[in-house]
Amino acid sequence: MSSFHEVIRKNESSILAGWIAEMASTTRRSDLMGDVELKQQATEFLRLFTDAAESSTDPHSEAFFSTREYMKEIAKSRMEQGFTPGETALFVLSLKQPVFNSLRDALKSEPAKLVTEIWDVGNILDRLAVQTVDGATEFRDQVIVRQQEEMLELSTPVVKLWDGVLALPLIGTLDSARTQVVMESLLSAIVETNSQIAIIDITGVPTVDTLVAQHLIKTITAARLMGADCYLSGIRPAIAQTIVHLGIDLVDIQTKAKLADAFALAQTRLGKTVVNVKSAAKSTSKHEDA
């Protein structure tokens, strides 16, 4: 069993001071973390690391469980503060130099043992640094996924145009993941507002291929199953030609070139008529005069 943990424990204060000095000259980010927090993290990690090293030199062992868990916390907090995974790993790696210095002073008369101790402690710190990078990367990926989901929700707003009429303006390309969000948002809005008509506007969709058309048809079919008529607006000449060329069947789907046209159709479907108030007033006045 290596005994470097004994050297670390005996020289804990000097190693901690050397470690903080090492970070100050290489990896210090005073714009992201204050001196007090940095010292707290370094002190706690050094304590956990030394305790674990008394029982094992395998960083994957049960003895290092608390050390690994603490590094996960550090990785998460540092990623939230703006550190990169590499900068977080250097927090661990910068401990090497002060530990090596203490080992050199303690074992200068035993070169063979010095090499062994340096190898053992360096190997553990290297592996812990890799685990730290993995933890930071995993947390970053989780944040990215969450942000993508939030962006999907924000990019599929369901707008209430009128009592009983909803509009879903789509911008960008439709894929399977976004189609699921679109469908869930539209169906939820239909239930919440008890709407009879939903208009899907694809003016902002750059191209419509077979896959996009299938996604649209699925969404329209789902809306119909909820008891709402579904219209498709924003059919530009280029998209119309593409749909015909691909042989996509939209015969059973009511389509319009503009959202305004689809809205007018919805008003007719609901038995309502939009009139010009001034024109109607003039007509009423002439009728009364007559």
Q: Mean of the per-residue pLDDT values for the chain?
A: 85
What class has domain 4-149?
A: mainly alpha
Helices (H), the chain: 4-10, 12-26, 35-53, 65-81, 85-93, 96-106, 111-154, 176-193, 210-225, 237-246, 259-269, 277-289
Share of the chain above pLDDT 90, in %: 30
What pLDDT was estimated at residue 43? Answer: 93
Which sequence spans correspond to the domains of the chain? 4-149, 159-273
What pLDDT was estimated at residue 145? Answer: 79
In this predicted model, what pLDDT tens digit does every residue of 6-30 receive, in sequence order?
999 999 999 999 999 888 877 667 7
**Is the pLDDT assigned to residue 175 strictly greater than 90?**
no
159-273: which CATH topology? Transcription Regulator spoIIAA (3.30.750)
Q: Which two tokens stand for residue 61?
A: 């062992």
User: Given this chain, do its domains 4-149 and 159-273 carry the same CATH topology?
Assistant: no
What pLDDT was estimated at residue 27? Answer: 67
What pLDDT was estimated at residue 248? Answer: 79
The model's confidence at residue 1, banded by pLDDT at 50, 70 and 90, is very low
CA distance 85 to 18: 23
**Is the pLDDT assigned to residue 132 strictly greater than 90?**
no
Mean pLDDT for 94-101 is 93
Q: Which two tokens stand for residue 106?
A: 């303690």
Contact 127, 64 (CB under 8 A): no
**Is the pLDDT assigned to residue 290 strictly greater than 60?**
no
Looking at the chain, how many residues does it have? 290
* Backbone torsions φ then ψ of 254, nearest 5 degrees: -75, 120
Q: Which residues pair with 169 in a beta bridge?
A: 201
Kind of pairing, strands 159-162 and 229-233? unpaired
